[in-house]
Amino acid sequence: MIKIFLHRRFLTLSIVFIIGSFLFLIGLGATGLVDETPPLFASAGRFMSQSGDWLTPKVNGILRFDKPPFFYWLMAIFYSIPANEIWDKYGSLSARLPSALSTLFLMIMIADTMYCATDQTGDKVKIALVASLSFALSPLIIIWSRTAVSDSLLCATLGTSLLSFWRNISSEEDGPCITPWCFLSIAILTKGPVAFVIIFTTLFTFFLTHKNWKRLFYKLKIGKGLLITFLISSPWYFIQLLNNGKVFWDNFFGYHNLQRYTSVVNNHSEPWWFYIFIMILASLPFTVFLIHGIISTFEELISYLKIRSEKVNSIYIFSLCWLISVLLFFSFSATKLPSYWIPAIPAASILICKSAQILDNKRNIPFIWLLTTLILLGFSIAFYFSDSWLVLINDPEMPELVSEIKTNGLIFRTRILFPIFTILSTIFIFKFIPKSILFLQILIYSSQFLLMPPIRKIADDLRQEPLRSISKKIIDVRSRREPIAMIGIRKPSLHFYSKQIIFYESSSPSGLVNLSERFIFEKRSNELDQPNYQSESFLVVIDKYSQKSKHWNEINSQILGTYGIYSLLRIKREDLNYIAKEFKKDGIQSNWIIEKFEKF
């Protein structure tokens, strides 16, 4: 037993575990959820726990079929732990833990895979640490590992599946190959068929690089694997098709998968090169290492193809196929979001490691550190002259953002830290130091604890604290279960914090007409809140910009409180219905009955 704990592999993974735990778990529940998507995920998970219905996701009294249930299940498990409201006062820790823990697991998996993939005993620890830190320090991973959405879990399950496939392929033994198929099943239950497409595109591309691809294909145990995947991932889909039929088919498969891929949804249209740009941003400040790693791996691949090598254990060629598969698949998608790149970041981190390995073996390529230094110098200059561009920040939901950034000393810290990074990188140009990239990674890792907590705190105080306060006020002043509406800026976190049914509408005249009709005909409710739609009044949360519109400004209302940019009003139903009737006479009609798959 003592020998196990003293083994270099165990010690390496223990270091990675400690590093990742501090980065992903410390202060995870110290701030509330950020609108708009995380509160929707969290509400669905919490409702499963509270209602006992773990099959059908629901939010705010309606079905939510944007994603399969596995992420909701994990959140629901944490929400079901006794005394949850005591140790998780904002409800955000339970919602974020699946993302954080899955990211930590994948970080360890990357480290272990790279440790085992390296032939040189002396380099094993360094390569494992460089690869895992390259993954963990990606700006996208830093953000999404603490976000209550399913992207990090998809990255972890898909990444673990692919790394397990590679380990099985590269092994000299003919193993059962069960683990990668199980993780593929979980990935499908996390985000749908996209996981299947990415994994099989990666494997197919990798097989094309090998002369003896049939032997590799046999090692995957395709027949048994597909059966395992089907048995684990398909039952929930069949249950929903049986219970909800066309609604589930149209929402999940029609809108959230097919329509998102073939047409632009929610104005998320980007040019074809968008993910090349995101790849560059997601690897900062080690983008030059990534590009160098890609080029070096292409050269390695070409040399293998020329001699038709049967070598199968190149983790770097496999990672290149993985990265290209994600890049091409999502580049063809009509709807493009930065988070779609997250499944490629593990592959990018391994390619960064490839470059670092070459850099330690060749002392005559300082241009990599030169370009990295220029990137860091650019950030240093940008923060030094931050006063000139901070004034351009104009977030209507956080009007005090710039002053809070300055008051909390964030700019001062960046003006100290980035010049330090630049100086260290400059030293590496002129002086060869083994493991140089690891020194810079450790320094950047340490800086996270000086920069990220105050950033999260500022955003939470300005954006989410007013919504938490107004949610408490709603619970205190709500009379006879009167209906509640939010007008203008629509925040799902109001439903999450208040645990009440909320009717969301725009501040336009048609939004007012919609609200009048919805109180009469829609009548939402759930197991936790049954609004009284016969109530003579209703509560309204409205932002100060929407409140300036003529019809909302002139309607008779009682102001119950103001929190940040939001006000809580009580309005009589008869006043609402009167104005709605007048709008209808002017030809303004409701549009709430029109199917909207994204509504909440």
DSSP per residue, 231-262? HHHHHHHHHHHHHHHHHHIIIIIIIIIIIHHH
Asked if 522 and 381 sit in the same domain, the reply is no
pTM given for the model: 0.92
Q: Which residues pair with 58 in a beta bridge?
A: 63
Asked if 168 and 199 sit in the same domain, the reply is yes
Q: Which pLDDT score is estimated for 142?
A: 94
Would you say residue 566 lies in a domain? yes
Would you say residue 289 lies in a domain? no
User: pLDDT-based confidence at 427, cuts 50/70/90?
Assistant: confident
Which residue, among 99, 81, 103, 77, has the nearest Cα to 33 in the 3D structure? 99
Asked if 402 and 526 sit in the same domain, the reply is no
Asked if 491 and 417 sit in the same domain, the reply is no
Q: Which pLDDT score is estimated for 229?
A: 92
Contact of 356 with 289, CB cutoff 8 Å: yes
Picking from 198, 227, 260, the residue at the C-terminal end of a domain is 260
**How many helices (H) does the chain have, and how many strands (E)?**
28, 7
pLDDT digits (tens, 9 = 90+) for 23-75: 999 999 999 998 889 999 999 999 999 989 999 999 998 889 889 999 999 99
Q: Is 435 left (phi over 0), alpha (psi -120 to 50) or beta?
A: left
Would you say residue 356 lies in a domain? no
Which residue, among 67, 124, 132, 104, has the nearest Cα to 345 in the 3D structure? 132
The number of distinct structural domains making up the chain is 3
Q: In this predicted model, which residue has the larger pLDDT, 120 or 150?
A: 150
Would you say residue 288 lies in a domain? no
Q: Which pLDDT score is estimated for 330?
A: 92
User: pLDDT-based confidence at 357, cuts 50/70/90?
Assistant: confident
Would you say residue 518 lies in a domain? yes
Asked if 441 and 570 sit in the same domain, the reply is no
The three-state (H, E, C) secondary structure of 7-19, written as one string: CHHHHHHHHHHHH
Cβ of 431: how many Cβ atoms within 10 Å?
11
Q: What separation in angstroms does the CA of 382 have from each of 326, 379, 418?
A: 32, 5, 10
pLDDT digits (tens, 9 = 90+) for 252-307: 888 877 888 788 777 777 788 999 999 999 999 999 999 999 999 988 888 877 76
Q: Which pLDDT score is estimated for 426?
A: 87
Give dist(CA 488, CA 476) in Å, integer.
23
194 phi/psi in degrees, rounded to 5: -60, -35
Asked if 456 and 508 sit in the same domain, the reply is no
Asked if 96 and 198 sit in the same domain, the reply is yes
Asked if 516 and 560 sit in the same domain, the reply is yes
> Does the pLDDT value for residue 243 go beyond 60?
yes
Going by C-beta distance under 8 Å and a sequence separation of 6 or more, which residues neighbour residue 57? 44, 47, 48, 63, 64, 65, 67, 69, 72
Would you say residue 281 lies in a domain? no
Asked if 425 and 556 sit in the same domain, the reply is no
Among 228-242, 369-383, 386-400, 522-536, name the one with the lowest average pLDDT.
Answer: 386-400
Going by C-beta distance under 8 Å and a sequence separation of 6 or more, which residues neighbour residue 205? 321, 324, 325
Q: Which pLDDT score is estimated for 107?
A: 96
Q: Which pLDDT score is estimated for 408?
A: 83
Asked if 511 and 536 sit in the same domain, the reply is yes
The three-state (H, E, C) secondary structure of 267-317, written as one string: CCCCCCCHHHHHHHHHCCCCHHHHHHHHHHHHHHHHHHHHHCCCCCCCHHH
Helix (H) or strand (E) holding 466: helix 465-477
Asked if 550 and 571 sit in the same domain, the reply is yes
Please classify residue 275 by burial: count the beta carbons closer than 10 Å to its beta carbon, then call 0-12 exposed, 13-18 middle and 19+ buried.
buried
571 phi/psi in degrees, rounded to 5: -125, 145
Q: In this predicted model, which residue has the larger pLDDT, 568 or 431?
A: 568
DSSP letter, residue 33: P
Q: Which pLDDT score is estimated for 49?
A: 93
Q: Which pLDDT score is estimated for 250?
A: 84
- For 175, the domain range is 12-260
Give dist(CA 25, CA 452) in Å, integer.
13
Structural Rg of the chain based on CA atoms: 26
Asked if 573 and 516 sit in the same domain, the reply is yes
Would you say residue 31 lies in a domain? yes
Picking from 443, 466, 489, the residue at the C-terminal end of a domain is 466
Structure tokens at 257: 């998968």
Contact of 333 with 348, CB cutoff 8 Å: no
Give dist(CA 539, CA 501) in Å, integer.
11
Picking from 432, 466, 500, the residue at the C-terminal end of a domain is 466
Q: Which pLDDT score is estimated for 484?
A: 94
Q: What separation in angstroms does the CA of 324 have from each of 11, 279, 315, 366, 552?
A: 33, 11, 14, 27, 52
DSSP letter, residue 463: I
Would you say residue 300 lies in a domain? no
Q: What separation in angstroms does the CA of 247 have from each of 57, 206, 255, 592, 595?
A: 13, 38, 11, 17, 11
> Does the pLDDT value for residue 529 go beyond 90?
no
Average pLDDT, the chain: 88
Going by C-beta distance under 8 Å and a sequence separation of 6 or more, which residues neighbour residue 234? none
Angle between helical axes of 151-170 and 194-208 (0-180°, round to 10): 30
Cβ of 411: how many Cβ atoms within 10 Å?
16
SS3 label, residue 89 = coil
Contact of 512 with 488, CB cutoff 8 Å: no
